[in-house]
Amino acid sequence: MTDSDTAPKKILIVTAHPEPRSLNASLSAFAADELRAAGHEVRTSDLYAMKWKATVDADDFPDHSPEDRLAVMPASERATTANRLTPDVAAEQEKVLWSDALILQFPMWWFSAPAILKGWIDRVFTAGFGYGPLLPPPYSEGALGGRRALISVTLGARESSFSDRGIHGRLTDVLHPLQHGLFWFAGIAPLEPFALYGIDTDLPQDRVEAAKHAYARRLSTLFTDTPVPYRTLTGGAYDHDMRLLPNAEREGTSGLDLHIAAP
């Protein structure tokens, strides 16, 4: 461990659960306490408490004229470049830029993030901020390089059902749109997700404590764990059409694992 691994860091925790007394809310509060106790700085975005607007629409772009056809990508890029985003979006972008690590805390709903969190992503990661022609190439240093991200997710299902041969698909494949499609696309290095399975409504207190204990262990290595070693777009493994070159995969890999560089 180097000095920079143990130096105080800045963490943004984004939480998406409607109930302040939920396990998700308590895991986020617990993480904030743990990380602060370890000397780090923490900021939070509790999306339900903030009454976060989930939907991208014309109101997001104050300079967009209502008579004009709304093309989201160009409107998003113009507003970002001109510093004319709405205050709520600008505030979240500032938090992301401030952070060394991002934690997304959410319950899995229909095999992805709750809509309010998807709306945080859709609205905050604007063209010119999270992606776009004015930025470094995706899947590399990207727009937001130098940061890492941890998904902390609760699931009602059993772990076996999200295992390699589980019917829901491997958790890592189900979360690919976030891990690779959002984080890694924007240059943020994703860690293996922290997943709590079999989460019922009335979780016994001993299981809550066990969950916090396990989460504390994961948080203690937030800045030393090796991120998922996704390939960079610019590292020579892809052709000009963004396809992995013939025989570039590790032996025996297929599917989404093609895009992982090391075992």
**How are beta strands 189-190 and 148-154 bridged, if at all?**
parallel
Asked whether position 257 contacts a second copy by CB under 8 A, the answer is yes
What's the rounded Cα separation, in Å, for the pair 120 and 128? 16
Burial class for 112, CB neighbours closer than 10 Å (0-12, 13-18, 19+): middle
Nearest to 139, CA basis, from 189, 190, 185: 185
> Total residues contacting a second copy (rule CB under 8 A)?
68
Shortest spacing between CB 137 and a second copy, in angstroms: 11
Q: Which stretch binds a second copy (CB under 8 A): 48-56, 81-89, 93-101, 146-154?
A: 48-56
CA triple 116-121-123, angle to 5 deg = 90
Asked whether position 250 contacts a second copy by CB under 8 A, the answer is no
Site for a second copy in 21-40 (CB under 8 A): 21-22
Q: In this structure, what DSSP letter does residue 228 have?
A: P
What's the rounded Cα separation, in Å, for the pair 122 and 119? 5
Shortest spacing between CB 112 and a second copy, in angstroms: 5
**How are beta strands 101-107 and 41-46 bridged, if at all?**
unpaired
Q: In this structure, what DSSP letter does residue 182 have?
A: I
Site for a second copy in 122-181 (CB under 8 A): 122-123, 125, 139, 156-158, 160-161, 163-170, 173-174, 176-177, 180-181
By beta-carbon proximity to a second copy, the closer residue of 99 and 126 is 126
Q: In this structure, what DSSP letter does residue 183 have?
A: I
Asked whether position 70 contacts a second copy by CB under 8 A, the answer is yes
Among 29, 38, 41, 111, the residue binding a second copy under the rule CB under 8 A is: 111
Binding site for a second copy (CB under 8 A): 18-19, 21-22, 48, 54-58, 69-74, 107, 109-116, 118-119, 121-123, 125, 139, 156-158, 160-161, 163-170, 173-174, 176-177, 180-182, 185, 201-202, 231, 233, 238, 241-244, 254-259
